[in-house]
Amino acid sequence: MKNVSCHSETGKIVSLFIKHADHAFINEDHLSRHWKELNYTEKPNLKEAKDEYNNFESILDQHDISIYHMPKDDTVNMDSIYCRDAAIATNGGMIICNMGKPTRANEPIAVKKAFESSGIKILSNIVAPGTLEGGDVVWIDENTMAVGHTYRTNDDGIRQLKALLSPLGVEVMIVPLPHYKGVDDVFHLMSILSPVDKDMAVVYSPLMPIAFRNYLLSRNIKLVEVPEDEFETMGCNVLALAPGLCLMVDGNPKTRSLLEKAGCKVLVYKGVEISVKGGGGPTCLTRPIQRYV
């Protein structure tokens, strides 16, 4: 029998949550009122966003995944489409985050309700002054988690995370990230790191701390280097549906070719409206719960 765990980024996905563009983008008025304040590069085209999302979900449907849907919630906004960020899956239950981006403050409450209504156990909540976002959290292996110290995830949030994971036998490695484009930018640890197999990760080395990059190499993890001209188009944001089976935003042919040369199978979806404009690729659009390990 296969073992199931929440402590993996690369095992075959068993179950996950998503939030359809219908429920996040809602209508034209909602988009018009919020896209600028949320730092989208442009206002998403609602019809095209829905079409893109339908295609994205259809790809997930083809891979024997139990899909749960986050419901529409009037207390949250467009960014709730990126449902990874508001919670962390562990074998002890879900850790509900406390968002570092003030305009996303209501998302953890909304996702907690969705988990509870689906019968998914809650481990605990990150509380102020701590902040923690799921995009800053990456499982390296079953007992090792890397967490980015960023404008979205602070010292106290990391302290609380460590305290919650210690009883589960999990070591937390802190990865300090640079200022890059500043406080308002979408810049998480997963902006520069996407594990795609136990011994392979897609990375953007120019923004990666040297010590952390060397740590990955010391573990014999092959690094697939994203070219500079594909970083802003989500080339580094790659979701492993299973070991070596990658889903990424279309329009990054160099990174795709590098992954294929490394032995991966690569699937793509058009993500101009649902990913590129909001700075959230397939890892951001999904909250995996369990994977086979």
Residue 213 pLDDT: 98
Does 246 fall in a domain? no
pLDDT digits (tens, 9 = 90+) for 271-281: 999 999 999 99
Write out the residue range of the structural domain in which residue 127 sits: 4-189+276-292
Q: What is the CATH number of the domain that holds 89?
A: 3.75.10.10
What is the number of other CB atoms lying within 10 angstroms of the CB of residue 128? 9
Does 207 fall in a domain? no
Does 49 fall in a domain? yes
Q: Tell whether omega for the bond before 129 is within 30 degrees of 0, i.e. cis.
A: yes
Does 216 fall in a domain? no
Q: How many secondary structure helices (H) and strands (E) does the chain include?
A: 8, 16
| For residue 215, pLDDT beyond 80 | yes
Record the pTM: 0.96
Mean pLDDT in residue range 250-279: 98
Two tokens at 233?
């188009």
Q: Which of the two residues, 253 and 1, has the higher pLDDT score?
A: 253
pLDDT digits (tens, 9 = 90+) for 112-121: 999 999 999 9
CA 14 to chain centre: 16
What is the number of other CB atoms lying within 10 angstroms of the CB of residue 195? 25
Does 60 fall in a domain? yes
Residue 182 pLDDT: 87
Any idea how long the chain is?
Answer: 293
pLDDT digits (tens, 9 = 90+) for 122-176: 999 999 999 999 999 999 999 999 999 999 999 999 999 999 999 999 999 999 9
Does 199 fall in a domain? no
| For residue 85, pLDDT beyond 80 | yes
Number of domains making up the chain: 1
Average pLDDT, the chain: 97
Instruction: Indicate the pLDDT class of residue 28, thresholds 50, 70 and 90.
Output: very high
Q: What percent of the chain has pLDDT over 90?
A: 97
CA atoms within 13 A on the CB side of 57: 18
Which residues, at least 6 apart from 176, have a Cβ–Cβ distance to it below 8 Å?
148, 149, 209
Does 169 fall in a domain? yes
Does 65 fall in a domain? yes
Query: Closest Cα to residue 215, out of 174, 268, 243?
Result: 174
Instruction: Indicate the pLDDT class of residue 1, thresholds 50, 70 and 90.
Output: low
Mean pLDDT in residue range 78-92: 98
Tell me the β-bridge partners of 87.
96
DSSP string, 9-63: SSSPEEEEEE--HHHHT-SHHHHHHHTTTTT-SSPPPHHHHHHHHHHHHHHHHTT
pLDDT digits (tens, 9 = 90+) for 38-54: 999 999 999 999 999 99
